[in-house]
Amino acid sequence: MLYVGVDLGTSAVKLLLMDGKGRIEKIVSREYPIYFPNPGWSEQKPEDWFAQTMNGLKELLSECDRSQVAGISFGGQMHGLVILDDQDQVIRPALLWNDGRTYEECDYLNQIIGKEKLSGYTANIAFTGFTAPKILWVKNKEPENFARIRKIMLPKDYIAYRLSGVHCTDVSDASGMLLFDVKHRKWSSEMLEICGVTEEQMAKVYESYETVGNVLPEIAKELDIPETVRIVAGAGDNAAAAVGTGTVGDGRCNISLGTSGTIFISSEKFGVDRNNALHAFAHADGHYHLMGCMLSAASCNKWWMEEIVGTGDYAAEQKDIEKLGENHVFFLPYLMGERSPHNNPNARGTFIGMTMDTSRTDMTQAVLEGVAFALRDSLEVARSLGLHIERTKICGGGAKSPLWRKIMANVLNLKVDMIESEEGPALGGAMLAAVACGEYKNVEEAAEKLVKVIGTVEPEPELVEKYEAKYQQFRQIYPACKPLFELIR
C-alpha cells in the first residue's frame, strides 16, 4: 500500500509518497505567499494552502497505482489561527506562528491571569506565537469577526477538514494552542472560558495516529483515488519530525538545527519544569514530550557567514577551526530574541571576550559553540526533571557540518546519531498514516523498522571536560546582559 505525508510549512507544502516498507517513492513541493500587513504581523490564506496541497497531490500521485493509496496524514506549522463561520468559510487570513502582534494579550494572560494558573490549566505559559493570545486579539481588535466564529482550527487541520469534511485536530498540535489540558489530553474548560469560546467551537481531538474519516467522494474523484482512503489526524511539525527521526518512546532525543533550533525529548510520563522554560506537549506516539525552541540556530551561522563575513562557503570558514574547547570568544545566539529557556523577546545576539588577537576563525567558532551552549540550556532543564538522556538524533541544515556535530556531541555530552532520511514532518506524516492503516501496530514499531542510523559522533572525555568549563562561563553571560537588553531594545 501507499501512504501520503503532507507537511504544511510556512513557505511551502511538501508532499511525500511512501510505500509500506518505508521506501520514499516521490516528493513534491508547492509554494504559497505569506503576507506582512503590518510590522510584526504574519498571515497566510488557508485557501492557498488547500489549493497548493491539491495541486501537489495530483503531481505526487501522477505516476503511481492510485488504487494502492491507503492513507493521508500530516505534519504542519503549529499555533496558527484559522477561524471558520457557520458556512465553514474562512473568516480572515490565518495568523501564523511567527506573528508577533499579541504581546498585549500575552501580558494579560501571563500577568493578570497568571503563569501559575496557565501552567496548571495547560502545562504551558503564553508566548506571542501561541493560538490563545491570537483568539484574544481577534476578540479585542476585530469583534465583528470574533462574533462570526463557529470553528477554530490549526493550519494542517484545515487541510484535513477540506479532504475529509471533519473538524479535527490532534493532541500534539492542540498542545501548542494554550487551550489544551496536556496532561489529560482534552480541551481546558478554564482556558476556553478565559478566551470567550466554547468547546463546540473547537475541533474534535484525536491521537496523531487515529483515523478521523475517509476522503470525501468529490476529492476522491478529483484525485482518482479510492473513497476508502483514510484521512489521519497527523501531528504538529516538531512532533511529526520526531516520528520521522524515530524520536518516540521514553527518553529519546532529537536536535534540529534549522532556521530555528529545537531539542525534542520524548517521555512516557507527563512532566513540567517549574519555570515553564520548556514546552510540555502531548506527543504523536500517544505519550508526551518536552521541547526547547531557540529562535535562531543555523540562521545565526547563515547571518554570520553571508551578512558579516560575506561568503557562502561555510566549509572553508570552518576548516581552520581546530582548538575546540579553548575559544576565548563567546556568542549569545539571540538574534531574534529568545524563547527557550529565557522567554525574552528583547534578548539580542552578543559577542563577548574579543581581544586584539581574536581572529575571524575564533568568531566563527563562537557562533557554532553559542548555538550548542544555548541548546544545552534547554537540555539542563530536562535533566533537572530527572530525564536521563545518553544520545540524540540530529537533523536540519546545520547538521550537515561534521564540525558542528562534533561540537554538539561534546558540549551536550551526548552520542549524536545521523539518520539516513531527513524528510522531517512529511515522512512522519506518512508513517502515522501507515500506523492508522494497520501497516504497523504502533508508532514505536514504525520508527524502529523505518528509521536507520548511518553514523554516530561520540563525545570525547577530554573535550567534554573542556566544554563543561566553557559552558559554566557561558551560562553567566545572559543574566549579566539581561538588564542591558531592556535598555537597548
Catalytic hit among 7, 157, 173, 237 = 237
**54 annotated to a ligand binding site:** no
- 420 burial class (0-12, 13-18, 19+ CB within 10 angstroms)? exposed
Whose cell is 504544511? That residue is: 8
In angstroms, rounded to a whole number, what is the distance separating the alpha carbons of residues 157 and 177?
13
Does residue 289 have a known ligand-binding role? no
- What is the spatial distance between Cα 227 and Cα 224, in angstroms, rounded to a whole number? 9
- DSSP per residue, 189-201: HHHHHHHT--GGG
Which amino acid is present at 313? Answer: D
Entry field: residues in the chain: 489
**CA-wise closest residue to 94 among 74, 116, 73, 79:** 79
Helix (H) or strand (E) holding 267: strand 261-267
Grid coordinates belonging to 313: 562557503
CB atoms within 10 A of CB 315: 10
Element (H, E) at 281: strand 279-282
Measured between its terminal Cα atoms, the distance across the chain in Å is 55
Contact 249, 268 (CB under 8 A): yes
- Amino acid letter at 150? R
Task: Look up 237 and say whether it is catalytic.
Answer: yes
* Residues linked to residue 289 through DSSP beta bridges, in sequence order: 266, 281
Q: If you compute the radius of gyration of the chain from its CA atoms, what whole number of angstroms results?
A: 22
Helical residues (DSSP H) of 437-474, grouped into ranges: 443-450, 461-474
Could you list the residues known to form a binding site, using ranges: 78-79
Give me the active site residues, please.
237
Question: Which residues line the annotated binding site for substrate?
Answer: 78-79
